[in-house]
Chains A and B, each alone.
Chain A
Amino acid sequence: MKKLALPDDILMQIDKPARYIGNEFNSVKKNPADVDIRFAMCFPDVYEVGMSHLGIAILYDMLNRREDTYCERVYSPWPDLHNLMKERNIPLFALESQDAIKNFDFIGMTLQYEMCYTNILQILDLAGVALETKDRENNDPIIIVGGPCATNPEPIADFVDLVYVGEGETSYPALLDLYKKHKASGFDRQAFLREASKIPGIYVPSLYEVTYKESDGTIESFRPKFNDVPATIVRQVVADMDSTTYPTKMLIPFVRAIQDRVVLEIQRGCIRGCRFCQAGMIYRPNREKSVDILKKQAKELLASTGHEEISLSSLSSSDYHALGDLMDFLINDCLSEGVNVSLPSLRIDAFSLDVMSKVQDVRKSSITFAPEAGSQRMRNVINKGLTVDDIIGGATLAFKGGWNKVKFYFMLGLPTETDEDMKAIPRLANEVAAAYYDTVPKEQRQGRCQITISTSFFVPKPFTPFQWAPMYEAGEYLRRAKIVNDEMKAQLNQKSLKYNWHHSDVTVLEGVFARGDRRLCPAILDAYKSGCFFDAWGEYFDFDKWLAAFEKNNISVDFYAYRQRDLDEILPWDFIDCHVTKAFLKKEWENAMNATVTPNCKMMCSGCGAARIGSGVCHNAR
């Protein structure tokens, strides 16, 4: 029988013990003695969340294709187990072999959201690895992080040895080869890190020094400590999505994951250029997979997993060039075999409604719009190319098709937002409700329509045109939510409207981390030591502990979150080249201030800089 790292009495008292036993179908079994490199790939959140992540599935498959490498998985132990592991000194282990990861060569972690930063420390702490890079020795694992937040890794610079900036498919082979070479000839940690810094996309925070202006605390200089360390890190991007590695199998967790289905990535990047959206900028250029490859991958993955549902993954599926062809294939070939097709957020038009009516129970499902802003002026500011006519027209079509539930997503606190813009949100929802009563005759209605408005608070992100924008204090966000709520109550169709909004404390913290610098590291360390982790989970988030950690380390929330940054300020992430140029972002910031819309990449090239990569939409015939 397979050995387990946790004793029976622990497994029997914790929630969902199957999170920690491995043994999932399609998980990779290798003899650790047969490999040179042991890699612990970690998603620093609970199992069900981490197991749903496509990026890790791709890297797990890719790394295990190497004969010299055994990549295993690690997720954050839930607080119930965390406490027991601390109490009994059980070191954190990898799921496949159940071996302690302290003895691995690499611990890799993905940074999908800022609120996971304390969970990185939890992983290191439970693993028994020094929390700070400066305290690690030759036989400690190399701590490497990647993912979207690696586009500004500075707030965790002290904790990690390497940062992988970009898409994992490209530079890992070179990095692992280099590691193997160093390991074979008497491993010296510093020598390895120094060499690794020369691999494209690999950033070694400890090899850079930052100075700050005494006057205002902004960055004065950011430069490598040595001449042979590159001053700029170029984000790595897969050029050809058809020939890049993609798993033919995916793991089947016992505990139901958030994504309990085949996830098929149809394209990377987005042509839209919404100005608040980091993914829309950093994953440029938009690169599509060919439809034939997708059909083949869909078939293969359904067969190897036995999943009864398939979902398409991309930032904007409606923009995929052969969506009709692909959906026809999925509906004709897969629905008949008992496989559901779940639809990602599609633009609502006649085509998508037709597809949705084939795969969903119209009476039960709802139609989702993400206008992000209520007024046309505000939508122009954020470059969301969606008009009132699009929304009312789409909703009317949906009502005719039998739907009576509509969900709307909006953001509050966007740059230049006025009270009028906020009030436009419920007014838009009211118009949609009115369209329902105009469209559907009384005798065909099944009660009222349900229009649900959800707002989140806008957080400015690096490498977006809004990276300079100020945020608001938590109370101001709630004031804005109240304006929306009050205005909703003044609407004629208010009984058909429902409004949900988010908590605002966590938004402020997210804002601090998103645009933070390495001076935040001690505060994050102190917050963890005072008991903060699983901050992304409302029940564990403790804002007061964070404020105490900030105070202790002289961190001003005002400086990081509420301040309007100068366009010429050196930003903590300026040393990363995400292909999209700063000049373009500045131009887009100005366009935003003038409420000017920039056409999408398929309409015309606006010269963002991503064309340098030499593939994708920039080079396709328009």
Chain B
Amino acid sequence: MRVRIRFEKTGIMRYVGHLDLMRFFQKAVKRAGLPIRYSEGFNPHQIMSFASPLGVGLTSEGEYMDIDIKEQVDSKAALETLNANMVEGLEIKSFKYLPDNAEKCMSAVTAASYLVTYKDSKDDACYVDNILELKQKFFDETASINIVKKTKKGERVLDLKPLIYRFNIRVVDNKPVYDLLLSSGSTDNIKPELVVKAFHEFLGLPEFDELSLDIKRTDMFTGESDSFISLGDIGQ
């Protein structure tokens, strides 16, 4: 049976990359004594998959992984023992059994929400007075947002507009906070820094440094744009 685990990756754990995180969880699941299922063959590995890798430097309140286990265990107890095997900056938020027909989180994910702000006040360029009006022009009142995306084969023009499901800005302490819901998953995976970069270019701001952004993923979703469901709301 398959279990979906929701977890947070915050604080200093932002510096731990995806592959390292996967290895951490493989060991944590072993320490917690969960009856995880292994693949067959000479090098059996745990049946464990992650919804979407989180880049180094980003934090998240809504990360997901699915694991297959051999026998049912009590969800609450499993959540507790797993949390006893976490480190500062990693916390298990839910442990839910998925229905038999549930799609794996990795292929199910279609969108992700982010909160993006600026790390330090050093990037003064972002404090544009009429930022909210300009945002209307950049997003709400436009039919397309064409950017040039570099791919392995060269460059191609990509229209971001249909892939951005929500683009809101709040100004908190004189700093813009972007509230984004973006297409995610295997086909059109849009990184939040790409969207902010396009906005910066629209504003005519000089050089964009993506390292100046503080990006937090808040959740991941499945379904179509009119009916997104949080990956964490599936199963029980």
**A binding-site residues for B, Cβ under 8 Å:** 1-2, 4, 8-9, 11-13, 17-18, 21, 23-25, 252, 254-256, 260, 302-308, 338, 340, 360-361, 364
Q: Does any Cβ of A come within 8 Å of B17's Cβ?
A: yes
Which residue among A21, A302, A340 has the maximum number of chain B CB atoms within 10 Å of its CB?
Answer: A21
Could you tell me if A306 and B11 are in contact, using CB atoms closer than 8 angstroms?
Answer: no
Binary CB contact string for chain B from 84 to 114 against chain A (1 if under 8 A, 0 otherwise): 0101110000000000000000000000000
Name the residue on B nearest A18 (C-beta). B16
Contact of A2 among B12, B21, B26, B56 (CB under 8 A): B12
Q: Which residues of A contact B38 (CB under 8 A)?
A: 338
Q: Which residues of A contact B10 (CB under 8 A)?
A: 1
Contact of A25 among B24, B26, B33, B211 (CB under 8 A): B24
Known: A12-B211, A252-B27, A303-B31. A18 touches B17 (CB 8 A): yes
Binary CB contact string for chain B from 8 to 35 against chain A (1 if under 8 A, 0 otherwise): 0011110111011101101111110100
Beyond A11-B15, A21-B12, A256-B19: 7 further Cβ-contacts under 8 Å?
Answer: A8-B119, A305-B31, A306-B26, A306-B28, A338-B36, A338-B44, A360-B42
CA distance A338 to B46 in the complex (A): 8
Known: A2-B12, A18-B20, A23-B12. A361 touches B31 (CB 8 A): no
Name the residue on B nearest A360 (C-beta). B42
Contact of A17 among B24, B36, B56, B89 (CB under 8 A): B56
Could you tell me if B17 and A307 are in contact, using CB atoms closer than 8 angstroms?
Answer: no
CA distance A255 to B15 in the complex (A): 10
Could you tell me if A21 and B27 are in contact, using CB atoms closer than 8 angstroms?
Answer: no
CA distance A24 to B13 in the complex (A): 10
Could you tell me if A256 and B20 are in contact, using CB atoms closer than 8 angstroms?
Answer: yes
Could you tell me if A252 and B24 are in contact, using CB atoms closer than 8 angstroms?
Answer: yes
Name the residue on A nearest B24 (C-beta). A254
Q: Does any Cβ of A come within 8 Å of B176's Cβ?
A: no
Could you tell me if A9 and B31 are in contact, using CB atoms closer than 8 angstroms?
Answer: no
Number of interface residues of B (CB under 8 A): 33
CA distance A260 to B16 in the complex (A): 16
Could you tell me if B89 and A23 are in contact, using CB atoms closer than 8 angstroms?
Answer: yes
Name the residue on B nearest A13 (C-beta). B211
Could you tell me if A307 and B27 are in contact, using CB atoms closer than 8 angstroms?
Answer: yes
Could you tell me if B23 and A256 are in contact, using CB atoms closer than 8 angstroms?
Answer: yes
CA distance A293 to B77 in the complex (A): 32
Q: Does any Cβ of A come within 8 Å of B130's Cβ?
A: no
Contact of A23 among B29, B42, B85, B88 (CB under 8 A): B88
Q: Which residues of A contact B227 (CB under 8 A)?
A: none
15 pairs from A and B in contact (CB 8 Å cutoff): A2-B89, A8-B119, A13-B211, A21-B12, A21-B15, A23-B13, A25-B28, A25-B87, A254-B21, A254-B24, A303-B33, A305-B31, A306-B29, A307-B27, A338-B30
CA distance A560 to B30 in the complex (A): 52
Q: Does any Cβ of A come within 8 Å of B43's Cβ?
A: yes
CA distance A94 to B17 in the complex (A): 21
CA distance A13 to B17 in the complex (A): 14
Could you tell me if B31 and A2 are in contact, using CB atoms closer than 8 angstroms?
Answer: no
Contact of A304 among B31, B87, B89 (CB under 8 A): B31
Q: Which residues of A contact B56 (CB under 8 A)?
A: 12, 17
Name the residue on A nearest B211 (C-beta). A12
Could you tell me if A308 and B26 are in contact, using CB atoms closer than 8 angstroms?
Answer: yes
Which residue among A12, A305, A340, A364 has the maximum number of chain B CB atoms within 10 Å of its CB?
Answer: A12
Q: Sorted from nearest, which 4 A-B pairs have the closest CB atoms?
A: A306-B27, A306-B30, A306-B31, A361-B42
Could you tell me if A9 and B87 are in contact, using CB atoms closer than 8 angstroms?
Answer: no
Could you tell me if B20 and A254 are in contact, using CB atoms closer than 8 angstroms?
Answer: yes
CA distance A450 to B166 in the complex (A): 59
Could you tell me if B26 and A254 are in contact, using CB atoms closer than 8 angstroms?
Answer: no
CA distance A303 to B30 in the complex (A): 7
Could you tell me if B88 and A254 are in contact, using CB atoms closer than 8 angstroms?
Answer: no
Q: Which residues of A contact B16 (CB under 8 A)?
A: 18, 21, 254
